[in-house]
Structure 1
């Protein structure tokens, strides 16, 4: 241990006190030993440090900070150097705001397009996500503070996220859902990891010894701190045994007492606590050095805004350019239509909401663009309300234009932490506007703003499509620079765009039933499914257009990697993302038909040729063998493919790789769906064969009393009438708020009440309600109203008396 001397001076109670928060965002301090509090702040794409009342849902405004493009946006840049630069500037602002731990990046896989938090995650591919995440971490931690990779692991939906049991086979877990974390932790060397809310194969992740000890600590050699997601601790002692150092937010000392009692009665040894304290002290000491003597909020806001603009410019994706409608020609008459042109949609909703230092808008910068702007029309109501008057006004403007710039997308209430989308559709009132505009002027360029994939049955009605994703506070100007050709678009999609939601591999098993979600599609998520099962996609993984063209040639393959050349054949400078995909020819072990194993972004002047090198690494040919329980390599011929997207393969060659001669882990005849890749409707029996066990019951047990880990939603089945009434009031409130247009407030009910487990009352209220009081609430819920009320009031009095007797903390 690095801090044994100071640990030996601590009382058992002081050690335990460090294992949970002091308040909502700070860790505990011990002044007599020179142990200071750490401050943890949300920050995947900007610092969210709240100056006033703290919350985890983005309700209260935070200190102004640069709002960079979201992870889903920057992922389209395919540029780790850009990721490191963004991380560098995030780190500078964190230091300026005295933040020790920046809670990001988020690197969960995009298993399904409807996950409400997809805007905060990079990719559907673990290699791609891991490389981008590692670059962010290096940038953030170059300033001495800590990044915090989240949410570990298999947290791929928001519905019932605090109780859902993710049922996934071991090979898929390793190859798809853990590889990004493995790369981020080993290559980025993150100092902090955040555990996820969900269960993984029956155990809460922060209590899961297989995940937290055998994989994270033993295999990957991680020696940093694990922090719970806010309110994500279930059994504090089980979490401590698994190596979960820090529980957030505060529980007002309740779980500290649990730790002390567990050591005194021999449930755990004090040495287990000492190891956790040592890791936490190392994080405190290593991060506080960089914060000492730094003036508050001392950073160049204009320079940081410029970096945010650069990040947006490099991440914008050109998806359609019929008749070369883009870039806009000089003095062309342009009508700007759509609410997002005036009020940009530039970030997600929830705990990642940033209060930007400034905010560019399209209308603000339209006057500086070298086109003839003939005016602006709102065109549609932001939250879906139909308006024939607005459509009529927009059409009148469009009639007089050469080109219509139509700003469309999803609103803030549709993509948000805590709930998943209901469908992949753009709001109908926007589609009605598009159809009406098409009748008066077919020269339409859509500028799309959303953080995840959407269906586009209307795409034939547009000639140009520029996807800005959620491009941060400087995104509006960045998009205009792409539209006018000042910037040549170089973004490529980091996720597949299906033609319709029914085509997606998890369609029949998302977000799962009540108690669990079964990952029956196994490793076939995203392009791995579409490419293997030969399902057409609207836009494939890795796709993106440019204002120039690139030629690939001269592929050379060795045991160490590949080299090839790229030539810019066009008349403007541009960047190309070359992608390395690998296919195994043996067929003995089921695999996707292609898997991304490397990429390189290359900038080229017109007519310029460059040699590109992509090295193989330890992940290029490996697979996880469930018999040997380790990574193996299959002896086989491998097809090496270089492409501009997963579908646009330009160069191919083969190489023979000698493998590790591991035993065959599967019987082909028992897993036909997985060998064909046609996994959108796998039978339970076949999935259980892959799992090696029976799947758990997926529905809530409606016969037993409700307990700590049951949700408020389950009150509809409660024995207590008061609980059932409360449930119906919650449902009515949600319906009524949506009906009157208060969708964001309605969403909060779902996020913070409806799907909350009962233990969340104790874990998220900072000690206002403790577990003993919760026992009384559960008695009331389960039909013993007066007995439960007496118990609740009795425990409340006891808590207040004990608070009066305890002297104020140092």
Structure 2
């Protein structure tokens, strides 16, 4: 059928398929019955075509690092199935997920959106996710291909990575997604790879992806991430997104006419688009693009289970789990206690069905709300608290706010991110809007108004210009680098008085190459001070236990900017120190998208890392704290003691964050625990680490053979739950070469098994390693090579806790071609 359609299509029609129609849909060819399909952002939900901050509600699942912490591919596959159902509820046929870039620096703004520092763990979880999604007839899109490990100057930065590191670390998740999961779509990254944009990189998109790995799906650009016509098409980029066409359309037709692009190149790319439509069933039944909310009890239960499964208990001197019956006064403290920090920021945001805060979850778990005392203590937000209330929004043609509004509509929060405007009469590049609302402060005193805008804006209070986001506007660090740095201004307000707040916005007069966004965000807050810190300390003083909810939120862990450091923002460390000084039973619950330094670690009894676990946050954290569920997570990323211990933080800006448009991956294959092993730098918490609520004994590991065979070696180890309750144990297998002609990591993860055992139960972990697991990439030979010799198979509880060692022999050198099938 596809060949027949291609034969009947004109060049112009074939070309039309190679750009989006708009932000979220492909171009139909009605003459031939070729429908349009919709794509939707993931990976922790399916947003649909709505704004990043509004739209039809969706189920909000845990972020990827929380999934990485589960070490549970079967559970992640179940999530993939559920996410596919959410995509269908938004009329989408393609999910823009998963994200499989590697945790390199610890500061990447999208660290939360990626699974792990280890490519093998990342690959196993990505394969499971893709299989879950695609098993339901929705196409998955693995991203960002490749080298997008930082958000700093990501649209132009060149990630300079040697081929060995690429093959062993950064490409492996993509390779397994293609060869094992049959992923249907790949998204190129914004950055350049070794000087060439990945969206026009023939070695990457054609030689490696298609010729070596056999990929037969589509390659799409990240949004506004394509830069050329003939160069990108010839390199292997099929679909330019979003639409309408910028570098395709008439430009591509002309490029074919003048011989810059061969007609068969366009035909092949159009054929891959048609194959995608066929895969998702678009020809059998034209997709219904309508969107609706799908709030299923089974999704709620799965999100809650995933939240506990990914929770990592980093420290516990026996205080956890808490005994509900024995608790009197419980202090629930910190900036993340009453706020439900359920997801990271950027394109992963969705409008969640609901958000359960830790405070709500604890109150529900304890039933006796009178026993709970709450205080904030300090803030941790990067931006001023978002305005919430009834807002009237009027839209005008042109940027002058003149005449009658074209349309008016209500809103309820002070953030507007316009993918689509509410009327076709409005031009996204030439419109204006007026937001009118009122604010009644609860307390008298200085309040701070803040605003950030992509476009130009002014904020007035009772007619007085308070925040000027118009004059002298320059790009800053918000909205993917398209908005200014948040502008702030303090003003004295009287409690109980109603103030009129008006924001006037107009779109930018010039549209630049790259991402173009129209957005504004405004907020107001009364700054917290010493009295608030003191209140939290006094609340903790006589409590049976002080539960401190600290960390970050989606303003810090977000697409578009990297973190400034690895410390808790604001006065949170001070809050921990002061609370721990008055309450010996202090438990810290962290919510971050990656590692943090913990100078206060020795002063608290327990530390629980919850990440951003989705809409069931409060229930999941209460389940773990009170022992209704165990903390099932293990670290998917090393937590260093200090930022300077990270392999990318060597004091050379060319290595991080980059210099003169290049960031050099000088550490090569020595990322994460590989770096800590080979440098001898002891981490705060090693890769794979996590505590539970029960104890296990391990037997001695046994290998099925002493010599490696083509079909691999199976290593088994018996594990017994010797504690007094059900729990899970993670068995990890690392390979260590005993002697090598090239520098190699001390050990590398090659297999793992997660066992769930009842009290007194014994189970056997079976871990299989294959010849490629012994290998390194030989750049000169363009192949994976395992040298003759001995190798140790290390059976471990984490990267620093080796429980058993089995030595095997490779009798003959093994060479693996890059095109070989993967098991």
The offset of 1:374, in angstroms, is 3.2
Counterpart contact for 2:694–2:721, Cα < 8 Å = yes
Match for residue 44 of structure 1? Answer: 43
Q: Is residue 2:307 matched to residue 1:312? A: yes
Q: Is the 8 A contact 1:93 1:299 kept in 2?
A: yes
CA distance in 1, matches of 2:763, 2:231: 55
Matched, 1:553 2:680: no
Whether the 8 Å contact between 2:219 and 2:237 is mirrored in structure 1 is yes
Compared CA separation, residues 27 and 555, structure 1 to 2 (3 A): same
Q: Which residue of 1 aligns with 2:741?
A: 588
TM-aligned CA deviation for residue 95 of structure 1: 1.3
- 1:106 to 1:369, Cα distance in 2 relative to 1, 3 A: same
Distance 1:89 1:179 in 2: 26
Q: Is the 8 A contact 1:328 1:483 kept in 2?
A: no
Task: Give yes or no for the alignment of 1:166 onto 2:164.
Answer: no
Distance 2:40 2:339 in 1: 27
3-state SS, counterpart of residue 631 of structure 2: coil
Look up the match of 2:478. Answer: none
Matched residue, 2:265: 272
Find the partner of 2:775 among 606, 622, 645.
622
**Mapping 1:556-571, distance limit 5 Å:** 556-557=702-703, 558=705, 559=708, 560-571=713-724
Three-state SS of the structure 2 residue aligned to 1:649 is strand
Distance 2:106 2:241 in 1: 29
1:326 paired residue number:
321
Q: What value does the CA root-mean-square deviation take over the aligned residues?
A: 1.8
Q: Secondary structure at the match of 2:325?
A: coil
Partner residue, 1:35: 34
Structure-2 separation of matches of 1:595 and 1:661: 18
Residue 344 of structure 2: aligned partner: 348
Separation (CA, whole Å) in 2 of partners of 1:253 and 1:516: 27
1:411 CA drift (Å):
2.7
The 8 Å contact of residues 363 and 372 in structure 2, kept in 1 or not, is answered as: no
Deviation at 1:476, TM superposition (A): 1.4
Q: Which residue, 687, 697, 716 being the options, matches 1:541?
A: 687
5+ long unaligned stretches in structure 2: 383-526, 817-823
Match 1:408 to one of 543, 550, 557: 550
SS in 2 for 1:285: helix
The C-alpha deviation readout for 1:643-676, integer Å capped at 9, x for no partner, is 110101111110001343779xxxxxxxxxxxxx
Aligned to 1:805: none
Is the Cα–Cα contact under 8 Å of residues 328 and 371 in structure 1 kept in the other structure? no
**Alignment match of 2:531 (pick from 361, 383, 389):** 389
Match for residue 665 of structure 2? 519
CA distance in 2, matches of 1:402, 1:512: 49
The partner residue of 2:639 within 493, 497, 503 is: 497
Q: 1:20 to 1:195 in 2, by over 3 A?
A: same
* Aligned residue pair count: 656
Structure 2 residue aligned with 1:468, among 580, 593, 610?
610
In structure 2, what is the Cα distance between the partners aligned to 1:227 and 1:293? 20
Query: CA-to-partner distance for each residue in 1:244-285, whole Å, 9 max, x for gaps?
Result: 110001144652222111111111210011000000001012
1:62-211 equivalences in 2 (<5 Å): 62-211=55-204
- Is 1:335 aligned to 2:488, yes or no? no
Q: Is the 8 A contact 1:331 1:370 kept in 2?
A: no
CA contact (8 A) 2:47 2:90 kept: no
- Measured in 2, the distance between the counterparts of 1:478 and 1:423 equals 28
Question: CA deviation digits over 1:478-536, x for unaligned, max 9?
Answer: 11111011111120000000000011110132111131000111110100000121101
Aligned equivalents of 1:280 and 1:169: distance in 2? 32
TM-score normalized with structure 1 length: 0.79
Contact conserved, 1:41 with 1:99, CA < 8 A, in 2? Answer: yes
Could you tell me how far 1:212 is from its partner in structure 2? 1.0
Aligned to 1:531: 677
CA distance in 2, matches of 1:532, 1:252: 49
Question: Please, which of 571, 574, 599 is the counterpart of residue 429 of structure 1?
Answer: 571
Q: 2:788 aligns with which of 620, 623, 635?
A: 635
The correspondence of residues 680-695 of structure 1 with structure 2, limited to 5 A, is: none
Q: Distance in 2 between matches of 1:149 and 1:362?
A: 32
| Secondary structure of residue in 2 paired with 1:258 | helix
Provide the rounded CA distance (Å) in 1 between the counterparts of 2:342 and 2:291.
26
Q: Distance in 2 between matches of 1:371 and 1:543?
A: 33
Helix, strand or coil at the partner of 1:580 = strand
C-alpha distance in structure 2 between counterparts of 1:44 and 1:370, whole Å: 33
Number of the residue aligned with 1:12: 11
Q: 2:54 aligns with which of 25, 36, 61?
A: 61
Shift of 1:338: 1.4
Q: Distance in 1 between matches of 2:49 and 2:767?
A: 43
